[in-house]
Structure 1
């Protein structure tokens, strides 16, 4: 590395690297791929102030640390490690993509204090989050457009006591700017149901710790039962049709005003 201090992109993926402190000599680096190694600690990146893309996936990292100086980071992949807690990444004000799937995170409580509002993509799939109400901690991420939360314990429940339900609308009710959830685009009906949960239902009523009560509620308003789902879809379609009708009416009402303005504009031009 010392012989190539002006490198801008380095990939050392799929090796047996244990320590990463030697990378600091490449000060112009903006892309670094150290995926699938044996790294335990994040280190040696303090002087890499131009770094925008960092992949540390598939290592043995337990703690997110020593990244506060890398304020230009836009993409950070820490997936498939052994991370238990989200620690402070708030100095990374340019960060747009954070991949944390395949870790052992058990709470989202640190999110408001530790994650920057710039995040647009957040992957939390396959962790140990047990309480679905903790999704409320993500509401501070006002630019979040893509989220994955599948394969966490919070989406599993005892079917003996609770009807199978769709949790997507509940998540959207906390993260209104989402476009993609668990790999699937968000439909107009899902948005509508999320708006109803927020304004007319109890989408934000349940507090952290009331996981089971929330599941019972969602099983009644977001059922996956074919018969109940058909009935709910019919209700949503009626509401959606009403919205479109009122929107079309408003457009028709505005047409004479627009025509009048255009006529006046043409008459002035003619003069």
Structure 2
């Protein structure tokens, strides 16, 4: 692993980093109060930890009322440490080094999830995310077209991005997605039109 990050100083999420981030996001007046009295992490609803060279997700259990979490553009390899964030609605883990979808089981309120630009090769371990409306997993290593069938369980899924995965090169790609995710409004940043559905559906079977 060391050769991957030889020019990067990996970071861990600790109280010092979180305090720094929260102070940066505050106005000057609030920042002074925070530096004097500290933050009550339970009051924090949104947390942005982008571009922090974070290698491991940890020490977020204190943010039990968090609804929005940005962990994009880091060097995270594993989805972990999110179990207590049961109120999360929006989670961005794009541009990391994640290989396996895991650690999301308790996030049952999640509506918007981005795993764009990682190293994921299989859609799995998302059964509890029944409120999911927007899912981006473009630019990963998904090669099996049949993986698209997994999306059938998400009744509220309206926006899906798979662009940049090897499975998109299959000539049946559009057929599969439109057939198995009938409620989709946007696919790969494009509006799914009724004409597309009508064109593809007769070819099924």
Q: What number of residue pairs does the alignment pair up?
A: 175
Q: CA deviation at 1:194?
A: 4.8
State the match for 2:78 in structure 1: 63
TM superposition outliers: structure 1 runs of 4+ over 4 Å: none
Q: Does 1:20 align with 2:33?
A: no
Superposition pairs of residues 105-120 of structure 1, within 5 angstroms? 105-112=120-127, 115-120=128-133
Q: CA deviation at 1:195?
A: 4.2
State the match for 1:180 in structure 2: 186
1:94 to 109, 116, 130: 109
State the match for 2:144 in structure 1: 131
Superposition pairs of residues 68-87 of structure 1, within 5 angstroms? 68-87=83-102
Superposition pairs of residues 137-152 of structure 1, within 5 angstroms? 137-152=150-165
SS at match of 2:42: coil
Q: Does 1:190 align with 2:196?
A: yes
| Aligned mates of 1:167, 1:41 — CA distance in 2 | 34
Q: CA deviation at 1:170?
A: 1.8
Q: CA deviation at 1:118?
A: 0.5
TM-score normalized with structure 2 length: 0.79
| Aligned mates of 1:33, 1:84 — CA distance in 2 | 22
Name the larger-Rg structure. Answer: 1
State the match for 1:42 in structure 2: 57
Q: State whether residues 168 and 181 of structure 1, in contact with CA within 8 Å, keep that contact through their aligned partners in structure 2.
A: no
CA deviation digits over 1:10-61, x for unaligned, max 9?
xxxxxx7712121386221111011111101111111211100100000011
Q: Considering Cα pairs closer than 8 Å and 6+ residues apart, tell me whether 1 or 2 has the greater RCO.
A: 2
Q: CA deviation at 1:180?
A: 0.2
State the match for 2:6 in structure 1: none
Q: CA deviation at 1:152?
A: 0.6
Q: Which runs of 5+ in 2 are unaligned?
A: 1-8, 20-39
| Aligned mates of 2:80, 2:107 — CA distance in 1 | 12
TM-score normalized with structure 1 length: 0.61
State the match for 1:235 in structure 2: none
